[in-house]
Chains A and B, each alone.
Chain A
Amino acid sequence: MADIILAVNNVKKKIKKREIIKGISLEIKKGEVLGFLGPNGAGKSTTLRMVVGLSKPTSGNITISGFDIQKDYVKAMAQVGCMIEGPDMYNYMSGYKNLEMLNAMGNEVSTKAIERVVELVGLEHRIHDKVRVYSMGMKQRLGLAAALLHQPKLLILDEPTNGLDPQGIYEFRGIIKQLAQEEGISVLISSHLISEVQLMCDKVSIINQGELIRSATVDSLLTSKEVMWTTNDVHRAYDLIRGRISEASLVRNRILAPLNQEALPEINRMLFNAGIEIEQVAVKEKTLEALFLELTENQHIT
């Protein structure tokens, strides 16, 4: 119990008679990285805004390290660092001045701590330039530095890799993993980059139309594998395989079926014994993207 850093309990949000968030619950433990996935308009930003106190839930509650965000706002927010929909800083000040200003709001950290966080995001050489001249990537790094300034236990990042080049995304991933594993910081990331979520996160929650539709560890979601056969007698092979695996499908002269690798040799033997020549057998890992699209197919933004 003591190491549940974030608890969202049946949170609902109504805006002008429309229920945008229909009862979301989730939990993050210490050192966990949770990915928040969903199509546009699903309610990701709305939920994250409620977690950091920018919006008020219509019902339900949110606690951070046990502190309710409505009743113990200051104690709850002292544990959180966040970057919501963009790293918006004061353009007419330098990056360093921005950080100094934010430092003064709350428990102050030492100058050394500020320098440490600047080094962590890789901005040491440009930190004294005005934010006005920063590139998008630099602004994102500054935003991350601002979020990490007060050494929070929980990091909330809304689309943090927007505008980063591949090198930046790679470094960012490294920083997040380091923060989670070495410093035990819990991270909640919402992202559109499914591949990134797959690489960075331990758990994934998929949200659609204001509801959580799937919540699981990344590993468990990816153990389902798919096998693809190319043969010289497609139709007969297809009938045979479909007899064994009902979800088999025929796509462009190839047979696809979800299958565990242990059962594969048996199917191959069956085809061989029927006189069918197997030209190619490939095992595809079912990606998170495919799962995501499948779960949210035909959903319109309501």
Chain B
Amino acid sequence: MLKLTKNELNKMLLSKKPYLILALLIIFIALFAYGEKYSYDKGIERLEVISEDLSFNWENLAKQQIKDMERRLTSPYMSLEGKKAVAIEIEQLKYFLDNGINPITPSSAKFAVQFVEQGIVLLIPLLIIILAADLVSGEFSGRTIKVLMTRAVPRWQILLSKLLALLMMTTLVILLTAVLSVVISGLFFGRWGFDEPVITGFVMSNGSLSSNQVVQVSQLAYMLLIYSLAWFVAVIIGCISLMVSVLVKSTPAAIGIIMSALIGGQFLQFFLADWEIVKYFFVSNLNLTKYLTGSYQFIDGMSFNFSFGVLSLWGIGTLVISFIIFSRKDILV
């Protein structure tokens, strides 16, 4: 099994896909870090112009943001859901202010966390799909599956070695994301910020924000937590992609199907929030990190435990289907 897994890792590395992932990560992280620095600098400039105060104070900035958001709440064009979301953000900021915690100056650790919070639904899955979609369907397209399957090795071992290689590469990708986002944003911001305090544990109950169970952790600890969640989501996406790769014998079709599911799933949550069944779709549950920040949920009845459970079931279910079909199907290429 070790040798088989080594073979599969070799194939992945030689196929240049990891380099594509590396390039994508660097480009996205650099772009977002630059963007954040730019908008932060612009924000300070504007504030300095307005208040004619050359040395700025984060508290003033925070108060300014609260004022902006309260103004948005009075706009007639905002939906009820939107208003609820903004109201929650105001509550959060007020909490930070009251406790003397600076929520907005960018730092590496904060950026690393934000990058994952934004990317966990689409960007990180995309990176994993690049690796996983090709795993089995690539062997069919290249017809090398014949060579693999006529060895003195049972079929399930072959699929297992691919799965193990995928898991290893997924872990590597998540680590790379962490390291790159910290290092690249560090170049832009000049602050690490690992020991800044973070408040987490906000819970949505009955449509309002409850701060009863909040706890303060260091930014580093929070980062570890967020990245573990990202790793879990990446693994589940990997399993689902593996199944699609086994079912569909063409890599472009596999990528197309999974990407449509990811993008379509976002729309589903937004437009069909009333359908019970939408919350059982794996895409609706990918955003595990939002439970930690207390953002507004579109669909009622979803909690962290619920999403974690649904994703786990999807992961196990797709693996079972993959192994059964892979072991039984006739190879006709």
Interface positions, chain B 123-173, Cβ under 8 Å from A, are 142-144, 146-154
Asked whether, in the complex, the Cβ of A105 is within 8 Å of the Cβ of B4, the reply is yes
Asked whether, in the complex, the Cβ of B150 is within 8 Å of the Cβ of A84, the reply is yes
Asked whether, in the complex, the Cβ of A105 is within 8 Å of the Cβ of B151, the reply is yes
- Please measure, in the bound complex, the distance between the C-alpha atom of A232 and the C-alpha atom of B102, giving whole angstroms: 118
At the interface, yes or no: A101 with Cβ under 8 Å from chain B?
A: yes
Asked whether, in the complex, the Cβ of A84 is within 8 Å of the Cβ of B7, the reply is no
Interface positions, chain B 46-73, Cβ under 8 Å from A, are none
Interface positions, chain B 205-222, Cβ under 8 Å from A, are none
Interface size of A by CB at 8 A reads 30
Q: Considering only CB atoms, which chain B residue lies closest to A91 in the complex?
A: B142
Asked whether, in the complex, the Cβ of B330 is within 8 Å of the Cβ of A55, the reply is yes
Q: Which of B7, B148, B150, B153 contacts A82 (CB 8 A)?
A: B150
Q: Which of B10, B11, B147, B153 contacts A146 (CB 8 A)?
A: B147
Q: Report chain A residues within 8 Å CB of B4.
A: 104-105
B132 CB to nearest A CB, Å: 18
Q: Which of B15, B147, B148, B154 contacts A92 (CB 8 A)?
A: B15
Asked whether, in the complex, the Cβ of A80 is within 8 Å of the Cβ of B150, the reply is yes
At the interface, yes or no: A78 with Cβ under 8 Å from chain B?
A: yes
At the interface, yes or no: B80 with Cβ under 8 Å from chain A?
A: no
- Please measure, in the bound complex, the distance between the C-alpha atom of A123 and the C-alpha atom of B331, giving whole angstroms: 29
Q: Which of B7, B11, B152, B328 contacts A78 (CB 8 A)?
A: B152
Asked whether, in the complex, the Cβ of A55 is within 8 Å of the Cβ of B151, the reply is no
Asked whether, in the complex, the Cβ of A105 is within 8 Å of the Cβ of B144, the reply is no
At the interface, yes or no: B14 with Cβ under 8 Å from chain A?
A: yes
At the interface, yes or no: A54 with Cβ under 8 Å from chain B?
A: yes
At the interface, yes or no: B94 with Cβ under 8 Å from chain A?
A: no
Asked whether, in the complex, the Cβ of B14 is within 8 Å of the Cβ of A105, the reply is no
- Please measure, in the bound complex, the distance between the C-alpha atom of A49 and the C-alpha atom of B143, giving whole angstroms: 14
At the interface, yes or no: B42 with Cβ under 8 Å from chain A?
A: no
Asked whether, in the complex, the Cβ of A106 is within 8 Å of the Cβ of B151, the reply is yes
Asked whether, in the complex, the Cβ of B7 is within 8 Å of the Cβ of A92, the reply is no
Asked whether, in the complex, the Cβ of A54 is within 8 Å of the Cβ of B143, the reply is no
Interface positions, chain B 1-50, Cβ under 8 Å from A, are 3-4, 6-7, 10-11, 14-15
Q: Which of B146, B154, B331 contacts A74 (CB 8 A)?
A: B154
- Please measure, in the bound complex, the distance between the C-alpha atom of A54 and the C-alpha atom of B142, giving whole angstroms: 16
Asked whether, in the complex, the Cβ of A74 is within 8 Å of the Cβ of B153, the reply is yes
Asked whether, in the complex, the Cβ of A56 is within 8 Å of the Cβ of B330, the reply is yes
Q: Considering only CB atoms, which chain B residue lies closest to A45 in the complex?
A: B332
- Please measure, in the bound complex, the distance between the C-alpha atom of A165 and the C-alpha atom of B329, giving whole angstroms: 36
- Please measure, in the bound complex, the distance between the C-alpha atom of A55 and the C-alpha atom of B144, giving whole angstroms: 16
Asked whether, in the complex, the Cβ of A88 is within 8 Å of the Cβ of B7, the reply is no
B18 CB to nearest A CB, Å: 14
Asked whether, in the complex, the Cβ of A54 is within 8 Å of the Cβ of B149, the reply is yes
- Centre residue among B6, B10, B15 by max chain A CB count within 10 A: B10
- Please measure, in the bound complex, the distance between the C-alpha atom of A119 and the C-alpha atom of B146, giving whole angstroms: 24
At the interface, yes or no: A102 with Cβ under 8 Å from chain B?
A: yes
Q: Report chain A residues within 8 Å CB of B10.
A: 101
Asked whether, in the complex, the Cβ of B11 is within 8 Å of the Cβ of A49, the reply is no
B225 CB to nearest A CB, Å: 39
Asked whether, in the complex, the Cβ of B7 is within 8 Å of the Cβ of A73, the reply is no
- Please measure, in the bound complex, the distance between the C-alpha atom of A53 and the C-alpha atom of B330, giving whole angstroms: 9
Q: Report chain B residues within 8 Å CB of A75.
A: 152
Asked whether, in the complex, the Cβ of A77 is within 8 Å of the Cβ of B144, the reply is no
At the interface, yes or no: A52 with Cβ under 8 Å from chain B?
A: yes
- Centre residue among B3, B10, B150, B151 by max chain A CB count within 10 A: B150
Q: Report chain B residues within 8 Å CB of A53.
A: 149-150
A132 CB to nearest B CB, Å: 11
- Please measure, in the bound complex, the distance between the C-alpha atom of A84 and the C-alpha atom of B330, giving whole angstroms: 14
The verdict on A77 contacting B150 (CB below 8 Å), with A54-B331, A93-B14, A101-B10 known, is yes
At the interface, yes or no: A111 with Cβ under 8 Å from chain B?
A: no
Q: Report chain B residues within 8 Å CB of A80.
A: 150
- Please measure, in the bound complex, the distance between the C-alpha atom of A92 and the C-alpha atom of B19, giving whole angstroms: 15
At the interface, yes or no: A89 with Cβ under 8 Å from chain B?
A: yes
- Please measure, in the bound complex, the distance between the C-alpha atom of A189 and the C-alpha atom of B330, giving whole angstroms: 21
Asked whether, in the complex, the Cβ of A92 is within 8 Å of the Cβ of B14, the reply is yes
Q: Which of B3, B147, B152, B328 contacts A88 (CB 8 A)?
A: B147
Q: Which of A54, A74, A82 contacts B330 (CB 8 A)?
A: A54
A76 CB to nearest B CB, Å: 8
The verdict on A102 contacting B151 (CB below 8 Å), with A89-B144, A90-B142, A90-B144 known, is yes
- Centre residue among A52, A74, A90, A102 by max chain B CB count within 10 A: A90
The verdict on A106 contacting B152 (CB below 8 Å), with A54-B331, A101-B7 known, is yes
Q: Which of A74, A77, A90 contacts B11 (CB 8 A)?
A: A90
Q: Considering only CB atoms, which chain B residue lies closest to A75 in the complex?
A: B152
Asked whether, in the complex, the Cβ of B151 is within 8 Å of the Cβ of A84, the reply is no
- Please measure, in the bound complex, the distance between the C-alpha atom of A91 and the C-alpha atom of B14, giving whole angstroms: 11
Q: Which of B3, B154, B328, B330 contacts A73 (CB 8 A)?
A: B154
At the interface, yes or no: A86 with Cβ under 8 Å from chain B?
A: yes
Convert A62-84 into 0s and 1s, putting 1 for each residue whose CB lies closer than 8 angstroms to a CB of B.
00000000000111011010101
The verdict on A88 contacting B146 (CB below 8 Å), with A56-B330, A101-B7, A104-B6 known, is yes
Q: Report chain A residues within 8 Å CB of B143.
A: 86, 88
Q: Report chain A residues within 8 Å CB of B154.
A: 73-74
Convert A214-233 into 0s and 1s, putting 1 for each residue whose CB lies closer than 8 angstroms to a CB of B.
00000000000000000000
Q: Report chain B residues within 8 Å CB of A280.
A: none
B201 CB to nearest A CB, Å: 49
The verdict on A105 contacting B330 (CB below 8 Å), with A53-B150, A74-B153, A91-B142 known, is no
Q: List 11 A-B contacts (CB under 8 A).
A: A54-B146, A56-B330, A78-B152, A82-B150, A84-B146, A90-B144, A93-B14, A101-B11, A102-B147, A105-B4, A107-B152
Given contacts A75-B152, A105-B3, 11 further A-B contacts (CB under 8 A): A49-B330, A55-B330, A77-B150, A89-B144, A89-B147, A93-B14, A104-B3, A104-B7, A105-B151, A106-B152, A146-B147
